[in-house]
Amino acid sequence: MRILPLSEFKEIFKKEYEQYCILLDKAQSKQQAIMENDIDELAEIVSYEQEIIELIEELESKRHSFLNDFAAEKKAADTEFSFAELMAFMPEEREGMQELKADFLTVLDQLQQINEENKQLIEDSLKISEYSLELIRQAVGKENVYSKKDKSDSLRQTNHIINKKI
């Protein structure tokens, strides 16, 4: 078991924060794409977000591994090691790390809020789409649209919105 220096923990934590900031930016872009109904842009953003999430998972794994190893070295292996306890070993870094933690928590809150808003936008879009489809189904069932009978201009009953012959 090799313990990373505390400076490496700080770098891991900082990189993880930076990736969450990028993820927040992408969530905001995704919100705009949802509102503009830009499916291609949305697909591109979701794909990029997946790459960011994979990187965040790697960094988070490294951070947890570091904390577990550090806790095993400094305390009994079966106890949890808190951020505050880690700061006791980094007195010169305490203020900067606490600011970084506060910024990190703020970004996580903002990300959660935007994700909730995006979820609601998507649900609303689906409701509108379902309503529109139901209106179309009802319209098709009541009268005919764009079909001819025996070269006359009268309409006839059909199950299609637009006659394929047109």
Distances, alpha carbon 30 to alpha carbons 16, 22, 48, 133, in Å: 21, 12, 11, 25
pLDDT in tens, 43-98: 999 999 999 999 999 999 998 888 888 777 776 555 666 778 788 888 888 889 99
Query: Does residue 147 sit within a domain?
Result: no
Rounded CA-CA distance 2/39 in Å is: 47
Query: Does residue 65 sit within a domain?
Result: yes
Phi-psi label, residue 81: left if phi above 0, alpha if psi -120 to 50, beta otherwise: beta
- Residues 9, 86: contact at Cβ < 8 Å? yes
Which of 8-22, 76-90, 120-134 shows the highest mean pLDDT? 8-22
For the chain, the domain total comes to 1
Q: Which of 33-42, 43-52, 102-111 has the lowest mean pLDDT?
A: 33-42
Query: Does residue 44 sit within a domain?
Result: yes
Query: Does residue 159 sit within a domain?
Result: no
Query: Does residue 166 sit within a domain?
Result: no
What average pLDDT does range 6-23 have in this prediction? 93
- Residues 35, 121: contact at Cβ < 8 Å? yes
Higher pLDDT, residue 17 or 2: 17
Where b means 16+ CB within 10 Å and e means fewer, 28-49 reads: bbbbebbeeeeeeebeebeeeb
Of all residues in the chain, the percent with pLDDT exceeding 90 is 42
Query: Does residue 155 sit within a domain?
Result: no
| Domain carrying residue 56 | 6-142
- The pLDDT value given to residue 1: 46
pLDDT interval class at 166 (50, 70, 90)? very low
What average pLDDT does range 39-46 have in this prediction? 93
What's the residue count for the chain? 166
pLDDT in tens, 109-118: 999 999 999 9
Query: Does residue 151 sit within a domain?
Result: no
Write the DSSP assignment of 41-88 as a string of letters: HHHHHHHHHHHHHHHHHHHHHHHHHHHHHHHHHHS-TTS---HHHHHT
Q: CA quadruple 78, 79, 82, 87: dihedral positive or negative?
A: negative
The CATH code of the domain that includes 75 is 1.20.58
CA dihedral angle for residue 115, residue 119, residue 121, residue 126, rounded to 10 degrees: 160
pLDDT interval class at 147 (50, 70, 90)? low
- The pLDDT value given to residue 76: 57
Rounded CA-CA distance 149/129 in Å is: 32
